[in-house]
Amino acid sequence: MAEPLKLVYTEDFIRQFAAKIRTVLPAFDESLFVSGVMGSGWEELELKARMRRISETLGRTLPQSFAEALDVLYRIDETCVGFPYLFFPDFVEVHGQREEDFERSLDALERFTSKSSSEFAIRPFLLRHPERTMARMRLWAAGDDEHVRRLASEGCRPRLPWGQALPMFKQDPSAVLELLETLRADPSLYVRKSVANNLNDIAKDNPERVRETARRWYGSDPLTDWIVRRGCRGLLRAADPEILALFGYAADAGGEQDLIEQASLSAAPNLVAIGESVELRYSLRTRPGEPLRIRLEYAVDFVKASGRTSRKLFRLSDRTWNGGETLSGSRRHGFADLTTRKHYAGVHRVVLLVNGREYAEDILTLQAAVPISHE
């Protein structure tokens, strides 16, 4: 198992960083900084709390003038590149909130983002001064540096993971969508991924706004088409009829117009312990006639601790099939606990989906893990 990310902040790392500061600020108290960071409760702190401890300790040990403190960081930031240095923009978030420091703080976030990322630190500025901050971010979106353009998009995502939510953009994403217009065909994949993720965020609260954007954008440029498809992935998983039609998936009118004439799904074994896996076997035949664009998925209705269920989709195929074509296959599905999913004993329903419609199902029972014998 991979080590927790928080372990990048070792005592050696903290001491080496303090030594870097001493090269440009001889009066810097390395011992005070290291003891302040590594002091009471350090081992119990998680990743973001460790970053914040470093930022707060820098605030006590660098010059008290925010401008002078930034000048120190500017003189070493070329050698402070990568994930561990996310505390540079966090320092700005913590210590750069005074009104007189607003422009200076945004300048610093623009500079630091190419070395780590300022997507989290920009959010308090958006919450306090949305119009002023978005005005600067629109300039960033038109800039030459892909890291800065990505910050423009990633920083205003309404539901950025690990970041503060932006409720004003959940309610009305107009300002975000205006900014994304500048990035709709960005040459950088790094930026395009962010634009798509932003659209996917917006679709969770304002699906119609994303449908309208998708209609306008799709077909205008191959780069834009990639963004639209990835940005509409949540709507695709939800089998949104308009989005399915936009991407050319066959409609299912039911009755004699069913897309699938025959379908089956089985899980074996149908009694399995947490940590084990089952083999899912499926077979289906499309209706005769014209070719059909089909998105084939299976879903598992996972039992939660409360006894309720929560559905998770898994894609099997996404292509154009001939009319009357038969497809069969298998997929092994594991029930080992993950950092993102804990399994619970109970009856689990497994469903075969074609363009979002259920066509076959089976049921399996998940039981508690079998204890390991040490005899």
Per-residue pLDDT tens over the stretch 180-189: 999 999 999 9
Helix then strand then coil, % of the chain, to nearest 5: 45, 20, 35
pLDDT at 141 over 90: yes
Given this model, what pLDDT does residue 256 score? 54
Domain 5-246: assigned CATH number? 1.25.40.290
162: alpha, beta or left? (left if phi > 0; alpha if psi -120 to 50): left
* Fold of the CATH domain 258-367: Immunoglobulin-like (2.60.40)
DSSP state of 115: T
Q: In what order do the strands lie in the sheet with 309-321?
A: 271-273, 357-367, 346-354, 292-303, 309-321
> Is the overall model pTM greater than 0.85, yes or no?
yes
> Residue 20: CB partners within 8 Å, gap ≥ 6?
76, 79, 80
Name 373's bridge partners.
Answer: none
Q: What confidence tier does 327 reach under pLDDT thresholds 50, 70, 90?
A: very high
Across the range 223-234, mean pLDDT stands at: 98
Mean pLDDT over the full length of the chain: 95
Q: What confidence tier does 371 reach under pLDDT thresholds 50, 70, 90?
A: low
Q: How many CB atoms lie within 10 A of CB 58?
A: 24
Q: What confidence tier does 340 reach under pLDDT thresholds 50, 70, 90?
A: confident
Q: Where are the domains of the chain?
A: 5-246, 258-367
Domains 5-246 and 258-367 share a fold: no
Given this model, what pLDDT does residue 76 score? 98
Which among 106, 87, 189 is positioned nearest to 146, based on CA atoms? 189
Across the range 265-280, mean pLDDT stands at: 96
Across the range 329-335, mean pLDDT stands at: 97
Q: In what order do the strands lie in the sheet with 260-268?
A: 260-268, 277-286, 326-334
Tell me if 269 sits within 8 A of 277, measured CB to CB: no
Name 334's bridge partners.
Answer: 277
